[in-house]
Amino acid sequence: MKLNIITFLVAFVFQLNASTFAQKVTLEKQNSSLREIFKEIRKQTNIDFFFSDKIIDDSKKYSIRCENTPLKLVLENISKQTDLQFTLENEAIKVTSPTVTGSLVQTHISGYVFDSKGNPISGANIRVKNTPFNTHSDANGKFSVPIRDDYKTVIITHINYASIELPISKKLANVILQDRENELEEVILNVGYGQTKQSDLTGSVVQLNAKELEGFAPHQDIASMIQGKAAGVNVQISSGAPGAGVSVNIRGTTSLTGNSQPLWVIDGIPQYNVNGNDIGDILYDLNVGDVETIDILKDASATAIYGSRAANGVIIVTTKKGNRIQTPQLDASFNYGFQKQRDSFRTLKTEEFKRVITDAARNYYYTTGTIPTTGSISTILDASQAKTGTEVDYLSAPFLSNAFLDGNTNWWDEMTRTSNEKKLDVSLRGSTPTNNYFIAFGMPMQQGIIKGSDRNGFTGRINFDAKIMDKLTVGLNFNGSLNKQNNQDGMLEKIWNFRPDFPMYDENGKIFIPGYYEENPLTTLANRNYNERKGLNGNTYLQYNFSPNLFVKSSIAISYSQSFSDRFQTEGTVNSTHKGQANISQMEMANWIFENIASYNKKFGTLHDLSAMIGFSMENGATKNFAAGAQNFPDQYIMTNLTSGATAMKPTSSHTSTAMVSGFSRLNYKFDDKYILTGTFRTDGSSRFGPDKRWAYFPSGGIAWMLNKEKFMRFLDPELFNQLKIRSSLGVSGSQVLGNNDWRSLYQAAQFDESPGYAPFQLGNNNLRWEKTKTWEIGLDFALLHNRINGSIGYYDKQTSDVIYNKNIPSSSSFISVKENIANIQNSGLEFGIQGDVIRKRDMVWSLNFNIAGNKAIVKKINGVDKFMDLYAANALAIRMEEGMPLGSWYGFKWSGQYYQSMEEYNLLSKQNPTTGAKIFYQNNTNTVRPGDLRFEDINNDGLVNNDDKTFLGNSQPKFFGGFGTSFRKGNLSLNVNFVYSYGATRYWYTNSANWYTTGLFLKNYPDYVLDSWTTENRAAQWPRMSFGQGSSNTFSDFWISKADYLKVSLIRLNYRVPNELSKRVFGGYIDLSVSGTNLFTITNYNGIDPEGNFRLTGGATGMGTDWGVYPSMRSYNFSIRYSLK
């Protein structure tokens, strides 16, 4: 009997339940086949029909007309015309005929259901298409299907996997189900103190699963792995150094203090340093292999439940459990990789260095007409060679005989290497009817590309849940970590700067020390800079279910970490005036969080769904610091402990703490599966504010409308839109970007006439208020063609008020500044993301994904008389924050595109002061402008170039950014490629501009591009003149700003699954082999080394736009093998 599924199940026999029979239909069919009539009923009732082709005669036509008639009466009418019978089976309508029967069952065939990793799937639903036959796979994934001549196709489904449809053959063998990445209705999202289906969401949440984190370099943490994977989430990696920090910015910058990072929540516990610092160490404590899902919450409807720490978004990390695996499963993986510098850059060789210094000396002589007899320049220039006149061509060889040495050292080659990294992960997971468990161990080992830099340690985790009584469940999540790191602080800068004519060692075989502030990289390598961090985190809970609809849950989480630093600097270290200096420091951080929630959910009838949650939490965090040091060691290589130092340094210690109390609630209501309402409310009280300002309130509301379920959409094919949802939300979240005691006036110990006492240290502000961000959003979520294509588009507007910053105050107060609420900032933008399967077949899947976002940050208000503030980038006043202008706007002189070519040209351009008659032209400090210097524009056309001609020069924030990628699977082979891009940002290449700050120019080396500097023989050079004196060139201007657009290949991964039959027979388990590359190449016109990295996380709202050139990101190549045993 060949069966065909037409639509929804209906039955005529009186066994049909009342709700099914009560559905009403309207039909007007003339001369139509039964198939057409059934299809129309399905469209109106969502009930499927099962029937055999043998009982349906397509040549017979029927007419039926009814309006708003109960389904039962309609089927009775059809039965009278056809003698067919209708029965309800498995919530579908089976159509039979008393005169036609199916063929007999001849035999059975068996098969197995596995996931993409080779794990057996128990409980998968096995249904023969167009028949009532239904069964399930057992604990080993095995199932059996009867063979009949009318059984043609089997449909296999599971709530956690995408369904698959296969022809029935005599050997079904192994069936692999893919993770349900595109089945939006079944995706469960973590939204803070609970979960929800994606279809029930009124906010903006993006979920990444464990598969999307595979293939990255072993040293990368989860923050860097989400780069380019979610619209509106701008991830930038600060440098290529081991353990380098990562900036994650969700929908723009809301703070000026440097803390615009999202709140990270790991297994339900908010993570933060009690001092409000970057949590990079905490993320490195988390083994990526332990992660199950990452949920990124972006709008207020989703984030407001976290209140005062959610203004910058929330990222919820959920680690693995054993809840889907009934039999124990052992997984082990080993990764090996190596790193190389991503882009070549070169400093000057010895002869090139001499040439550049000679040109600089000639330019200096031309500028001043003399050679000084004192100062650093006099140590290389022969003052006796000075003559009158300023002819550039005069100065040929005024250098002293010892100005240059005879070394020819390539410091980059001597101090760097191709580094390697390794990582071992082992885990065990499983479950029984009453408990589940996940146990994991990881051991990462990483070398840095700089010699002497490395990072290694281990991580361990235990997740356990047990049902100890019928209504009582307990759980424990515990993880520990140890990280050891040897750093080489500033080594790249020292490699860059140290002169090539200097030897590595002096004539006595000791490290060559030049005797001034540039440091031999070998000295840095000989120094000790060891850091160690230990972390322990535990979370336990009790949950009691009063009924299937109501439960209460109490949990307590305790986090403890200890950081230890051991440093020793030898005599040749920069700024060291002692025979060695040792420093040790130790920091302890501990915090606890106690949370209690009650949750209720209930479905009332067929139309109403209600869920509610209420809770409160208390938390406390404390930090202790201790530091000590010693100087002047008789031996600087062996006995370097503190007690060996002849001179003890004053020890320091500190203790600080913070506390917060919170109440929160959420209410969800859904009507008829089409209209959804969400409301949340939270209040926080924090010790970081004064007594009158400690409490803040954070409400939010959201609404969603499932358009695809409306009757007026029925004119469309029901298979076209699986989801078409309009959503909107409005809410308030906050930020407490303060130190624990910033609101207080503080004193510190001091001495007065050799007597101890106290002196003012910090001016407090009792009126400091919370930064609050009000966010409005509207969006559209869609899924098409059996969820083959899905995506989202949205617009948001974020208004941040009472932004906190240091406000300068009169020096007569004895203080420089005080923290105040000084500004309002608006972020608004568009986001779009889409993914889909181009090909979706049993043995081949090809998918594409793309996302893009644009954010515009505007300064809306500045409190005070002046409606602007000038801020520093590196050592220059380079940024202006002004009402109505974009945040992060560069402000300075505009280069005309020309150099001064002669003094005659300069004299013609300079004007006279109308009062004094003296010529006035912009000069940096007191240095004279000369040929080869940058020529700036007279913006206001007053004949003078001075501070009045400064103007806005672009913005450090990108206009839009995002990522795209593709994945392809054919049989056992799969390929993944990810790209990341950014457009519209500009960067200030500070390390380059500093090259033209030329006091002591001869003391350091330079990048090779200075060979194209201005000279009388090279007037069309790319770069301005080099000189021992300063002209206008290093003055901040758009000459030093470069477009930072880029397209980066962030990951290419090729994976091969060894055939299961072979791997199980030979190795007893399942084996995956993969090769991958990360950060492989970047397409950019940026003038510097890296358009993305080399910034400092502590640089505030503007710091990420400054390129410090400290440690460029590296290419990584990785090989891995994964083994699974069940």
Residues making up the chain, counted from first to last = 1126
Residue 183: what pLDDT?
A: 44
d(C-alpha 1066, C-alpha 597), whole Å: 51
CB atoms within 10 A of CB 1019: 12
3-state SS, residue 747? strand
pLDDT higher than 80, residue 421: yes
3-state SS, residue 311? coil
**Residue pLDDT, tens place only, 246-287:** 888 999 988 876 567 899 999 988 886 533 444 556 777 788
Question: pLDDT averaged over the chain?
Answer: 82
d(C-alpha 354, C-alpha 675), whole Å: 76
Residue 396: what pLDDT?
A: 53
pLDDT higher than 90, residue 796: yes
- Which CA distances in Å does 1063 have to 115, 118, 119, 700, 727? 16, 11, 13, 53, 48
State how beta strands 173-177 and 107-115 pair.
parallel
Question: What DSSP letter does each residue of 221-237 carry, written as one string?
Answer: -HHHHTTTSSTTEEEEE
The one-letter code for the residue type at 53 is: D
Residue whose structure tokens are 């994976």: 1055
Residue 932: what pLDDT?
A: 83
In which band, very low, low, confident or very high, does the pLDDT at 631 lie, cut at 50, 70 and 90? very high
Asked if 666 and 680 touch (Cβ cutoff 8 Å), the reply is: yes
d(C-alpha 908, C-alpha 890), whole Å: 30
End-to-end CA distance of the chain: 39
Residue 185: what pLDDT?
A: 44
Across the beta sheet with 269-271, the strand order is 205-209, 291-297, 314-319, 263-266, 269-271
What percent of the chain has pLDDT above 70? 83
In which band, very low, low, confident or very high, does the pLDDT at 29 lie, cut at 50, 70 and 90? confident
Question: What DSSP letter does each residue of 670-710 carry, written as one string?
Answer: EETTTEEEEEEEEEEEETTS-TTS-EEEEEEEEEEEEGGGS
Average pLDDT score over residue span 225-252: 85
> In terms of C-beta density within 10 A (0-12 exposed, 13-18 middle, 19 or more buried), how is residue 1013 classed?
buried
Asked if 156 and 168 touch (Cβ cutoff 8 Å), the reply is: no
Find residue 1018's DSSP bridge partners.
Answer: 1015
Asked if 886 and 957 touch (Cβ cutoff 8 Å), the reply is: yes
User: Containing H/E element for 849?
Assistant: strand 844-862
What percent of the chain has pLDDT above 90? 35
3-state SS, residue 354? helix
In which band, very low, low, confident or very high, does the pLDDT at 9 lie, cut at 50, 70 and 90? very low
DSSP type of residue 305:
G
**Residue pLDDT, tens place only, 655-698:** 989 999 999 999 999 999 899 999 999 999 999 898 889 999 99
Maximum C-alpha span of the chain: 123
Residue whose structure tokens are 């061509």: 393
Residue whose structure tokens are 């332990």: 290
CB atoms within 10 A of CB 767: 12
- Contacting residues for 264 by C-beta, under 8 A, at least 6 apart: 270, 271, 272, 279, 282, 283, 314, 315, 317
In which band, very low, low, confident or very high, does the pLDDT at 534 lie, cut at 50, 70 and 90? very high
Residue whose structure tokens are 């006995």: 639
User: Containing H/E element for 640?
Assistant: none
d(C-alpha 250, C-alpha 247), whole Å: 10
pLDDT higher than 80, residue 148: no
**Residue pLDDT, tens place only, 684-740:** 999 989 888 999 999 999 999 999 888 888 777 766 888 899 999 999 998 877 778
Structure tokens at 117: 């990793």
Q: Which of 19-33, 429-443, 671-685, 1077-1091 has the highest mean pLDDT?
A: 671-685
Average pLDDT score over residue span 70-88: 80
Q: 1111 or 159: which carries more pLDDT confidence? A: 1111
Across the beta sheet with 1106-1107, the strand order is 1041-1043, 986-989, 1106-1107
> In terms of C-beta density within 10 A (0-12 exposed, 13-18 middle, 19 or more buried), how is residue 579 classed?
middle
**Residue pLDDT, tens place only, 300-321:** 889 999 988 888 999 999 999 8
In which band, very low, low, confident or very high, does the pLDDT at 386 lie, cut at 50, 70 and 90? low
In which band, very low, low, confident or very high, does the pLDDT at 394 lie, cut at 50, 70 and 90? very low
- Which CA distances in Å does 673 have to 603, 704, 789? 11, 10, 22
Q: 961 or 916: which carries more pLDDT confidence? A: 961
Residue 923: what pLDDT?
A: 46
d(C-alpha 524, C-alpha 413), whole Å: 16
Asked if 1099 and 318 touch (Cβ cutoff 8 Å), the reply is: no
**Percentages (nearest 5) of helix, strand, coil residues in the chain:** 15, 50, 35
- Nearest-5° angle of CA 962, CA 963, CA 968? 160
> In terms of C-beta density within 10 A (0-12 exposed, 13-18 middle, 19 or more buried), how is residue 358 classed?
buried
| SS3 letters across 362-381 | HHHHHHHCCCCCCCHHHHCE
In which band, very low, low, confident or very high, does the pLDDT at 106 lie, cut at 50, 70 and 90? very low
d(C-alpha 882, C-alpha 825), whole Å: 11
Asked if 157 and 127 touch (Cβ cutoff 8 Å), the reply is: yes
Find residue 1124's DSSP bridge partners.
Answer: 331, 1070
d(C-alpha 969, C-alpha 976), whole Å: 9
User: Containing H/E element for 1078?
Assistant: strand 1070-1078
Structure tokens at 244: 């380098």
d(C-alpha 1070, C-alpha 531), whole Å: 39
In which band, very low, low, confident or very high, does the pLDDT at 1105 lie, cut at 50, 70 and 90? confident
Q: Which CATH number fits domain 107-177: 1.20.58.220, 1.10.10.10, 3.40.50.720, 2.60.40.10?
A: 2.60.40.10
Average pLDDT score over residue span 122-136: 76
**Residue pLDDT, tens place only, 922-981:** 444 444 677 788 888 888 887 777 888 899 999 989 999 999 999 999 988 999 999 999
| SS3 letters across 961-1009 | EEEEEEEEEECCEEEEEEEEEEECCEEEEHHHHHHHCCCCHHHCCCEHH
d(C-alpha 267, C-alpha 272), whole Å: 14
Residue 149: what pLDDT?
A: 64
Residue whose structure tokens are 């300063």: 1030
Structure tokens at 568: 């020793």
Going from N- to C-terminal start, the domains of the chain cover 3-96, 107-177, 527-671
Q: Indicate the angle between helix axes 34-45 and 71-82, nearest 10 degrees.
A: 170
d(C-alpha 768, C-alpha 772), whole Å: 12
Q: Which of 75-84, 162-171, 778-787 has the highest mean pLDDT?
A: 778-787
**Residue pLDDT, tens place only, 468-506:** 988 999 999 999 999 999 987 678 778 888 999 999 999
d(C-alpha 273, C-alpha 656), whole Å: 12
Asked if 1104 and 1095 touch (Cβ cutoff 8 Å), the reply is: yes
d(C-alpha 270, C-alpha 1036), whole Å: 42
Which of 1122, 1119, 1117 is CA-nearest to residue 340?
Answer: 1117
3-state SS, residue 946? coil
pLDDT higher than 50, residue 390: no
Asked if 696 and 310 touch (Cβ cutoff 8 Å), the reply is: no
In which band, very low, low, confident or very high, does the pLDDT at 915 lie, cut at 50, 70 and 90? low
Residue 1097: what pLDDT?
A: 59
Residue 627: what pLDDT?
A: 96
Asked if 262 and 313 touch (Cβ cutoff 8 Å), the reply is: yes
3-state SS, residue 41? helix
The one-letter code for the residue type at 1015 is: T
**Residue pLDDT, tens place only, 56-66:** 877 888 888 88
**Residue pLDDT, tens place only, 520-529:** 999 888 899 9
The CATH code for residues 3-96 is 3.55.50.30
3-state SS, residue 764? coil
Structure tokens at 637: 């290589």
Which of 238, 253, 236 is CA-nearest to residue 887?
Answer: 253
